[in-house]
Structure 1
Amino acid sequence: ENWGEHMSDSIRWLWQTLVECLTNELNGLKTSRGELILDHWQEVRVNTDIEDLGSVFWKHLNDESPEQTHLFRRSFTMWGKLLQHIMEMLLLSLAEPEIFFEQLFELTIRHIRYGVRPEYLSPFGTALFLTLEEFLKDKWDDHAEAVWKDVWKRAANSMSRGLSLGGNGITHALVEGDTEALQIAMQCAPRNLRAEWLCQVDINGASISPLYWALHDGKFSIVEFILSDLLTIRADIHGYYYGRE
């Protein structure tokens, strides 16, 4: 009796999504997608100085999304090492997907703390492709571009979901160090859960302490607000609440 048009459309959508994913993976195996990615990256890595690699990538990323180069201020050498790490993660996603997703989970949590937003991933990928095109020259054809975009899309979509799920009013306030925003976010908390919200946030299944987070990042106005709020006596019809049990 629960089966209706809406349920039918939902199942049909789910099946179509699964078919597309499996078809994409099988086509990737058939066309030696992993070998092409590995060959391209080895050529770039062996023939390119790490600082030059970082310089070119930074230039393209700054053109596509200058807020990202301002968010992460680092040397060209460090940008090159960042790109190396990204390439290693993409290769891992093809060779050992289970390990890749375990590491991606930790990486996503770190990026939430850095203030990275899901919308950053698209221009980041564009900068990556432009960098590869510049170094690979004639080897960067339509087929190569399609393969790289497909591999990047799978990894970026997974991270985007994690960034979206892990982002809320409290985490955004912690990232920005905005005490007023944290006060606004806490207005939604029930009195009996207020202290718990201030002592623990869940990010994609991982529990993180906002107090430790703020202390680690030197955001002392946030620390002061959390401690003051935890030491405030509150009550409702169910009882009195003072700090965290």
Structure 2
Amino acid sequence: DCNTLKRFKVKHQWQQVFSGEHHRTEFSLHFWKEFLHDHPDLVSLFKRVQGENIYSPEFQAHGIRVLAGLDSVIGVLDEDDTFTVQLAHLKAQHTERGTKPEYFDLFGTQLFDILGDKLGTHFDQAAWRDCYAVIAAGIKP
């Protein structure tokens, strides 16, 4: 259950790791480097943004856009109507692109790993697990 306290924790912890231009760029690079290292078979999904070179400006911009989408959802976790509309918007985008539902599970696993690295003992994995489950369920095609 992604209750009020868990939503607060997720928002607060996300802000710690993803606020400010430097943090966004650093977090994105770390995330995608690990994600594509762990899932080299998915590099081809990012061909149009030069996924074979995560340091390219095209991929850097794409990586930040993806995480900014997550940021937009986390930012409205406690605003039910806006949250629902934002999830529907992202679901439509991912459905149109043919994104497979299982990619969200891979994304979540990687996200938790990176958050754990960044937040250390302050990482509330239970809060993230429960709230990310709601987010992913709302976006999965």
SS of 1:95's equivalent in the other structure is coil
C-alpha separation in 1, matches of 2:7 and 2:96: 31
Deviations 1:69-101 (A, max 9, x none): 431234234313421320321332x21122222
Once the two structures are TM-superposed, the CA of residue 57 in structure 1 deviates from its matched residue by 0.8
Letter matched to residue 53 of structure 1: F
Structure 1: gaps spanning 5 or more residues = 1-23, 164-245
TM-score by length of 1: 0.47
Kept in 2, the 8 Å contact 1:54–1:80? The answer is yes
C-alpha separation in 1, matches of 2:41 and 2:17: 27
What residue is the counterpart of 2:36 in the other structure? Answer: 62
> Pairwise CA RMSD of aligned residues?
2.1
C-alpha separation in 1, matches of 2:139 and 2:60: 24
C-alpha separation in 1, matches of 2:18 and 2:102: 28
What residue is the counterpart of 1:106 in the other structure? Answer: 89
Aligned residues: 130
Kept in 2, the 8 Å contact 1:52–1:76? The answer is no
SS of 1:153's equivalent in the other structure is helix
C-alpha separation in 2, matches of 1:49 and 1:68: 25
C-alpha separation in 1, matches of 2:30 and 2:138: 26
Could you say which structure has the greater relative contact order, defined with CA pairs below 8 angstroms and 6 or more residues apart?
2
SS of 1:75's equivalent in the other structure is helix
Bigger-Rg structure (1/2): 1
What residue is the counterpart of 1:79 in the other structure? Answer: 63
The percentage of aligned residue pairs carrying the same residue is: 25
Structure 2: gaps spanning 5 or more residues = 50-57
What residue is the counterpart of 2:55 in the other structure? Answer: none
More helix by share: 2
Once the two structures are TM-superposed, the CA of residue 68 in structure 1 deviates from its matched residue by 3.8
TM-score by length of 2: 0.77
C-alpha separation in 2, matches of 1:145 and 1:86: 17
- Alignment map for 1:131-210 (pairs within 5 Å): 131-140=114-123, 144-160=124-140, 163=141
What residue is the counterpart of 1:52 in the other structure? Answer: 26
